[in-house]
Amino acid sequence: MNFSLIRTLGYCIGGIWTAWGGRERIEAKQLKNLRRLIQTARNKSPYFNKLYTHLPETNLIKLNDLPVTSKVDLMDKFDNWLTDRSLTLAQARKHMDSMDNLGVPIGEYAVFRTSGSSGEPAVIVIPSSVLEFIFGLSLARLSKKQLQIERKIKKAGTNVIITGGNGHFAGAGLHKLMHFLAPRLAEKITFIPAEQPIGKTVKQLNGMGQIASIMIYPSMLAILTREKEAGRLTIEPKLFKVAGETFTSELRGRVEKVFPSLEYGIVDIYACTECLFMAFKCDCGRQHVLEDWVILEAVDENKQPVPDGELSTTALITVLYNHVQPFIRYDIGDRLRFYREPCACGSPFRSFQIEGRQATVVRVGNVTLSPLAFDLEHESAQRVQLVQTSEFVFEVRAELLNPDNPDQVFEQIIQSISAVFSKNGLVDVKVGKSDAPPLLTASGKFHEVIPLK
Ligand SMILES: [Zn+2]
């Protein structure tokens, strides 16, 4: 696997040239890139060859002609899906068995996995073109102000990533990979696993001196915000980068209030392992799709397009810069809304607002409750989690701050939860204490409420 600066520059110059040409040039480039990808997929991927048998000639194909694909189908046919027959699912999984291999390429590719929070984890194959694309298009699309921040932040103190450390996730793996391929371009990063106890993370952060930036999941940032509010966390970072979950405006307000040191604000990155760079946030705060290389479609439950301005049920992505593992009209399960009006920043690229995944609701009997119905904060606890173990039985898991009477803390939390159930007419629900620590998703995300699967 080789990282080419020349190809990176090619992406950058091409990206600038396409944007200069406005809508017409963007759409022409997108169609050209789409047909190139379809041709490769037809020629080299047995899965797509079969899927596209009935379709017209590639140079006549339009996006809507193509069937929607899903993670389950593609993972099931993994060895027939890739356009390079030399890498098998068994090889990729074996490579990922050892954490020593995190960010270490396997032949021409890097491999990562998704968290699997929506079912089976997917194995994602990253050729060097993906990395060249990320660097090249960042240079082409980020504003002057954003590029200046990127430069300044590298020298402003320690840069930290807090993310899942129990698997080959792109969050921590990409930086290791860049150190391996292009050490001069890679940032120096301090990694903290999201799975470790909060007290340990707080201590580690407090002992770091000046922190420039922290890359983090919003759910973890919510916990750090609480720690800062309580006075236990003393850091004064200049920038937060959040990714991997929906970042609400409520949380943004709280973070900005308790961290007045945020000179460069909070950058909200919308991406997934399948498509590591799909949009850029402009100075007006909107997400713009990298339409020359990524097709993002807002669709309803029948996978039909929804008009701009309306909230979609899910979204489909087509990743035009990864020819090794084609993602074409791939359902990513996110809900979003394209803006009707063009953005004030003047960008010719379409902009959208992300609403996140459909909230994970809790079902008890005939009652459906939002996780937001429960107040799971307690002054003597760092993390509180409510787990549904059977339809009418719940347990509370918590990381406490060494209170004098832990049972009393649990009792108070349980009372507040039980009150929510009774308010909703559920009197037979049992809520008990669990001694087990809170559960995290495979990629280290913390969900306050875990409904029965
Ligand atoms: Zn804009």
The candidate with the shortest Cα–Cα distance to 257, out of 220, 284, 228, is 228
Residue intervals in the chain for CATH 3.40.50.12780: 5-132+270-356
333 C-alpha to ligand 1 centroid (Å): 24
**Cα 387 to Cα 448: distance, rounded to the nearest angstrom:** 8
146 C-alpha to ligand 1 centroid (Å): 13
25-29, 54-58, 435-439: segment of lowest average pLDDT = 435-439
Q: What is the DSSP letter of 99?
A: G
Residue intervals in the chain for CATH 3.30.300: 362-450
185 C-alpha to ligand 1 centroid (Å): 27
285 C-alpha to ligand 1 centroid (Å): 7
- Which pLDDT belongs to residue 356? 67
197 C-alpha to ligand 1 centroid (Å): 39
- Which pLDDT belongs to residue 157? 92
281 C-alpha to ligand 1 centroid (Å): 7
Residues with CB under 5 A from ligand 1 (ion): 282, 284, 286, 343, 345, 347
Greater confidence, 222 or 240?
A: 240
Overall average pLDDT of the 27-37 stretch: 97
Q: Which amino acid is at 408?
A: Q
Token pair of 290, please? 């990298």
pLDDT tens-digit readout, 216-232: 988 889 889 989 999 99
pLDDT tens-digit readout, 300-325: 999 999 999 999 999 999 999 999 99
- Which pLDDT belongs to residue 288? 97
pLDDT tens-digit readout, 137-190: 999 998 888 889 988 998 899 999 998 888 898 988 998 898 888 888 777 889
pLDDT tens-digit readout, 405-419: 899 999 999 999 999
**Residues in the chain, total:** 453
Q: Which amino acid is at 71?
A: K
295 C-alpha to ligand 1 centroid (Å): 18
- Which pLDDT belongs to residue 357? 60
Overall average pLDDT of the 50-70 stretch: 95
**Cα 186 to Cα 111: distance, rounded to the nearest angstrom:** 18
pLDDT tens-digit readout, 329-352: 999 988 899 999 999 999 999 999
- Write down the mean pLDDT value for the chain: 91
**Cα 181 to Cα 2: distance, rounded to the nearest angstrom:** 7
- Which pLDDT belongs to residue 442? 79
- Which pLDDT belongs to residue 358? 47
23 C-alpha to ligand 1 centroid (Å): 15
Q: What is the DSSP letter of 118?
A: T
53 C-alpha to ligand 1 centroid (Å): 40
- Which pLDDT band, with edges at 50, 70 and 90, does 368 fall under? confident
- Which pLDDT belongs to residue 63? 95
Residues 106-136: b if buried by 16+ CB within 10 A, e if exposed: beebbbbbbbebeeebbbbbbbbbbbbbbbb
Backbone torsion region of residue 295, taken as left when φ is above 0, otherwise alpha when ψ lies between -120 and 50, otherwise beta = beta
247 C-alpha to ligand 1 centroid (Å): 18
Domain 142-268's class? alpha beta
CATH 3.40.50.12780 fits 5-132+270-356, yes or no: yes
**Cα 129 to Cα 320: distance, rounded to the nearest angstrom:** 10
Pick the CATH number of 362-450 from 3.40.50, 3.30.300, 3.40.120, 3.90.1200: 3.30.300
Q: What is the DSSP letter of 63?
A: G
106-120, 203-217, 233-247: segment of lowest average pLDDT = 106-120
Overall average pLDDT of the 196-223 stretch: 92
The answer to whether residue 76 scores a pLDDT higher than 80 is: yes
Distances (CA, A) of 384 to 110, 233, 399: 36, 18, 7
249 C-alpha to ligand 1 centroid (Å): 18
- Which pLDDT belongs to residue 233? 96
351 C-alpha to ligand 1 centroid (Å): 7
160 C-alpha to ligand 1 centroid (Å): 28
144 C-alpha to ligand 1 centroid (Å): 14
